Structure 1
């Protein structure tokens, strides 16, 4: 094989490596974007779960207040009936 053929053969090998690396970079960047999207969704999910937990706590607190108000109303009604 002469020098020209060797030079072209080496250039083709280099081109193959270049194309392979470019496609791998693109593939990895796509995966990176997908993982970033998943991470963002996971963060939103964590925030939503925290909001739900807080709302459940608030609901329990309001239920207790309502129960106490109901008991007071009943006691007040019975006291009024006895007077």
Structure 2
């Protein structure tokens, strides 16, 4: 497996994590909305903390994904350079 293929494979794994985390964040926000409606402050505080953690995790994963994208692009460009001289 080439470096490019490995990077793309790793990036796909990160994308899966990113999508899972985004779904979790959406679920938490839905629960938050329901709890606001029910005015359950104690539980609302807990879910707000969970949302803050998920947002931070999401930002961290997005940063990793961005860096991987840059690596994939660099790897692709390196792999294409020799063939461009042919």
- Please, what TM-score do these two structures have when normalized by structure 1? 0.52
Corresponding position: 1:65 with 2:68: yes
- Please, what TM-score do these two structures have when normalized by structure 2? 0.50
Segments of structure 2 that go 5 or more residues without pairing to the other structure are 1-38
Higher relative contact order (CA 8 A, sep 6+): 2
Pair member with larger Rg: 1
Q: SS state of the match for residue 74, structure 1? A: helix
Shift >3 Å, 4+ stretches:
none
Q: Quote how far apart the aligned CAs of 1:64 are.
A: 0.6
What do residues 29-74 of structure 1 show as CA deviations (whole Å, max 9, x unaligned)? xxxxx6xx21210110000110111011111101111110001111
